[in-house]
Structure 1
Amino acid sequence: MTSTSVKNNNLLPPGLVSNLQQVLSKKNGDNSNKNNDDDNVSNSEAESKESDSVEPAEPSSSTSVSDASEAVDTSKPVVLVTNGDGIDSPGLVFLVEALVREGLYNVHVCAPQSDKSVSGHSVTLQETVAVSSTEINGSTAFEVSGTPVDCVSLALSGALFSWSKPLLVISGINRGSSCGHHMFYSGVVAGAREALICGVPSLKKDESQENDFKDAVSVCIPLINAAIRDIEKGVFPKSCSLNIEIPTSPLTNKGFKLTKQSMWRSTPNWLAVSANRYPAGHFMSNQQSLGLQLAQLGRDASAAGAARRLNTQKKHVEIESVGVAGKSDSNRVKKYFRLEFMDKEQEETEEDLDFRALENGY
C-alpha cells in the first residue's frame, strides 16, 4: 500500500489520520503475509474528507414505539445504517451483513424504501411517512417512505427504536460518487449530515461500480472499526463526518489518500419530452364502458334531484350538483421536461482533489 498523503490538507486531526493509517497499514501487512504472490493487492482504500463542524442539536419525540423495537444488547455499541439508493440496494445489504458478521455491534437499519439518491437534505412535511419492518440478516431493519434525512431523523428521535443515540451512523454504500458539488444533491451525504447535526459521528461511503460493492465493503470495515474504537476512547474528533469515496476495483487501488473537496459538477441538461404524456385514446381504450357508466350516473343524479323536489313542501332553493365548470384551459400551455446530468471537463488540475484521486485509483 502506498503511504497516506496529507500534503496541503489540514482537514483531519493528526491523531485520527495516524489511527486510520495504522489500521490500514496493519491490515495490508496481514494480507501480504497470507498472499505473498500478490503484491499488488491493497486491502484499504478510501478518499476521506471532513465536513464543516456544526453545533449538535438533540432530536426529540413525543412518543416511543416500544413494540416495534427489539431489546438492545447494551454490551455492544449501536450502529445505525442508512443510504440513498434504497433498502434493497446491494451496497447496503452487503455492508449490514459484514457488520453483523463482525459480531461487535448492534446493527440497526433505517433506510428509504425506494431510490432517494438525489433527494438532497429534503424532509417530508405535511405528509404521513410509512414505516415497515423488513429483514436483513442479523439486524433490526425498517424501510421508510421518506428521504434519507427522514430516516436518520426518525431513528434518532426515539420514536422508532428503543435507543435515541447510536455510537455511529453509516450512510451508504451508495452507487456513484458525491465529489465536488454533487454532495449538495446527494441523499446519502445528507443522511450523514443529519446525524452530524444531531451530534452523532457519521461515515458516508460511495462506490463507483455496483459490481464492486463486496470488495468496497471489505475495504471499509477496517475504517469503520477504527472509527468506532476512537469514538469509544473519546478521541474521535467532535462534530466530524468522514466522506469516503471508493474507486473501481477497490482491492487493487493505490492506497488511502486524504483530499480536498473540489468544485466538480455535472452540467444539468433539460430535455423536452412529449406534451401528451397520457394520450386520451390510450386511456379510453382500456375503459370502454366508462362513458356509459358516467352517463348512467348523470341520469341517476337528475332523477334523484327531481324526486326530492316533488316530495318536499318547503320553499327553498334546491341545488343539484351535476358538475362544476372550471376555468377554460384553451390559453394554458403545459410542457414536460426530463432532467439529465452530463459530465463536463473539469479545469481543476490539483492532484489532491477528490475526483482526481478517484480518477488516479486512490
Structure 2
Amino acid sequence: MQKPLILVTNDDGITAPGLRALVRYMKEIGEVVVVAPDSPQSGMGHAITLDNALYSKKVTIDLENGGHEEYSCSGTPADCVKLALQEILGRKPDLCVSGINHGSNSSINVIYSGTMSAAIEAGIEGIPAIGFSLCDYSWEANFKSTETEVKKIVEEALSNGIPKGVVLNVNIPKTKGEGVKGIKVCRQARANWKEKFDKRTNPMGKDYYWLTGEFELLDKGEDTDEWALSNGYISIVPTQFDLTAHHAIQDINNWSFNE
C-alpha cells in the first residue's frame, strides 16, 4: 500500500527543533515533504504575501534524517501551505501537520498563531490538518517527550479521519519528566491578554514600542484546554474555520433593518 503523504510545516522556521522532531516522527508513519518558512514567523496569524515576491528553494537541513524533500519559503506559514499545494507537491497530501510549536497555542492564542493558520489553510483546501504546540518556549525544549502522543494522534487521525471543516489544535503541557496524564478533547477556554506597550527611546532619540502583556484566564470550566494543560493533560480542541456565529443569526434577524 502507498504510504500516506504528509506535508510538514511550522511558523518557527525550517531549522526549529520542534519541526525537526515532528519530521522524524512523521517519517515513521508516511512519506514526508517539508515546506516551511526560512525564518521565524510566529504571531503572523493567517497573513499571506501579496505585495512581495515569494521565494522557495530545495534545502537539506538534517543529513542524519534525510531521504525526504524539504523546501524553505520566504513567506508566511499560510504561504508555505499554499505554495506546497499549488507548486511543490505532486499529489494532494493525506495530512498536513504544523509545528511542533515552541510555546502554547491554547485558548485565545489560536487567533494569532502562525502554526494553526498553516493547518487551517490546509483545512480550507479540504486536507485533514493538525497543529501541534508544546507549552515550552525554550529552543532547547524536550520535544522527545512528545513523540508517543504525537504519533498516536496522527495515526488516529489518519485511521478515523477528521470531521469536515475541522482542524485539530493540539497543545502539550510542559512536564518535569513524569510524562502526561493522558489526552482530553476540550473546548477553547475564554481568555484574553492584558496588554500594554513599553515605550522606549533609541540612541537616535526616536521613540519605539515593545508589546508586553499578561495572559488573563476568564474561564473556570474543567472542560477547557487551559484546565487540561494545567492538570497535565494534552488538549485537543476541534477548531473550525467557518467563523459564522450561527447562534446569533436569529437574534440579528430580529433587528429592524427594513422598518
- Normalising TM by the smaller chain, what interval? 0.7 to 0.9
Matching residue of 2:111: 184
Matched-pair contact (CA < 8 Å) for 1:109–1:140: yes
Matched-pair contact (CA < 8 Å) for 1:91–1:214: no
Deviation at 1:140, TM superposition (A): 0.8
Deviation at 1:214, TM superposition (A): 1.3
Q: Larger RCO: Structure 1 or Structure 2 (Cα < 8 Å, ≥ 6 residues apart)? A: 1
Provide the identity percentage: 35
Pairing 1:160–2:160 present: no
Deviation at 1:275, TM superposition (A): 4.3
* SS, match of residue 88 in structure 2: coil
TM-score by length of 2: 0.81
Deviation at 1:133, TM superposition (A): 1.4
Matching residue of 2:210: 338
Matching residue of 1:245: 171
Match of 1:208 among 94, 119, 135: 135
Matching residue of 1:110: 35
Gaps of 5+ in 2: 234-259
- The residue type equivalent to 1:348 in the other structure is D
More helix by share: 1
Deviation at 1:345, TM superposition (A): 4.0
* SS, match of residue 115 in structure 1: coil
Larger radius of gyration: 1
Deviation at 1:98, TM superposition (A): 2.0
Matching residue of 2:79: 150
CA distance in 1: counterparts of 2:90 and 2:216, whole angstroms: 49
Deviation at 1:221, TM superposition (A): 0.5
- The residue type equivalent to 1:243 in the other structure is N
- The residue type equivalent to 1:133 in the other structure is K
Gaps of 5+ in 1: 1-73, 280-333
Matching residue of 1:134: 59
More strand by share: 2
Matching residue of 1:347: 218
Deviation at 1:356, TM superposition (A): 1.7
Deviation at 1:361, TM superposition (A): 1.0
Deviation at 1:263, TM superposition (A): 1.8
Matched-pair contact (CA < 8 Å) for 1:178–1:206: yes
Deviations 1:83-129 (A, max 9, x none): 111101111101101222x1x41100001111111000000112111
Matched-pair contact (CA < 8 Å) for 2:96–2:128: yes
CA gap of 1:344–1:171, structure 2 versus 1, over 3 A, is: closer
Match of 1:120 among 45, 50, 57: 45
Q: 5 Å matches for 1:1-362?
A: 75-100=2-27, 102=28, 104-135=29-60, 136=62, 137-157=66-86, 159-163=87-91, 165-209=92-136, 210=138, 211-231=141-161, 236-249=162-175, 252-277=179-204, 335-340=207-212, 342-362=213-233
Deviations 1:35-91 (A, max 9, x none): xxxxxxxxxxxxxxxxxxxxxxxxxxxxxxxxxxxxxxx822210010111101111
CA distance in 2: counterparts of 1:121 and 1:218, whole angstroms: 29
Matched-pair contact (CA < 8 Å) for 1:171–1:192: yes
CA distance in 2: counterparts of 1:349 and 1:148, whole angstroms: 33
Query: How many aligned residue pairs are there?
Result: 225
Matched-pair contact (CA < 8 Å) for 2:8–2:33: yes
Structure 1 segments, 4+ long, off by >3 Å, are none
